Amino acid sequence: MGVIDLDKRDKVIKGLECCLPPHDPDCDLCPYDSIDLRCRAQLRDDVMALLETQEPVEPTLDIRHGKSMWRCGSCSTALQPNQMHAKFCFNCGRAVKWR
C-alpha cells in the first residue's frame, strides 16, 4: 500500500469516526469538506476505492527469451520461483488469485 493509499485510509477512518453513529456527527473534526453536503458521497467513494484495492489480482505470465515468469497482476513485480502460488505479492501486498 503506497503513501497515498495510507493517507486516504487515515482520512476515511477519521471521516467514518466523525460521521457514523453512535456519535453525533462532528463535521468540525471531519477531514471531508462538508460545505456543499457532498462529503458523505466522497467518503463513500473513498471507501469503495480502498475496498477495490483489496481485491485479489490474477498473476500474469511473462515470457521473454524463452523463459517464463509469473508477475503480480497489480504492480508487475516478478513472483520468484520459490513464491509460486504465493498468496500475496511481496512488493505491493495485493492478494494473488491463482486460477
CA dihedral 62, 68, 72, 76 (to 10 degrees): -50
Query: Can you tell me which residue has the cell 462532528?
Result: 26
Domain extent, residue 93, equals: 56-99
| CB neighbourhood size of 13 (10 A) | 13
Predicted local confidence at residue 81, as pLDDT: 66
The mean pLDDT value for 2-25 works out to 79
**Mean pLDDT, residues 5-12:** 85
The residues that bridge with 67 in the sheet, in sequence order, are: 64
Q: What value does the mean pLDDT of the chain take?
A: 83
Q: Are residues 37 and 25 in the same domain?
A: yes
What is the count of structural domains for the chain? 2
**How many residues would you count in the chain?**
99
Q: Among 1-5, 29-33, 62-66, 78-82, where is mean pLDDT lowest? A: 1-5
Do 48 and 65 lie in one domain? The reply is: no
Q: What is the pLDDT of residues 21-61, one digit of tens each?
A: 776 777 788 888 766 668 888 899 999 988 888 889 999 99
Residues 82 and 94 in one domain: yes
Mean pLDDT in residue range 66-74: 90
Residue among 36, 96, 37 nearest 72 (CA): 96
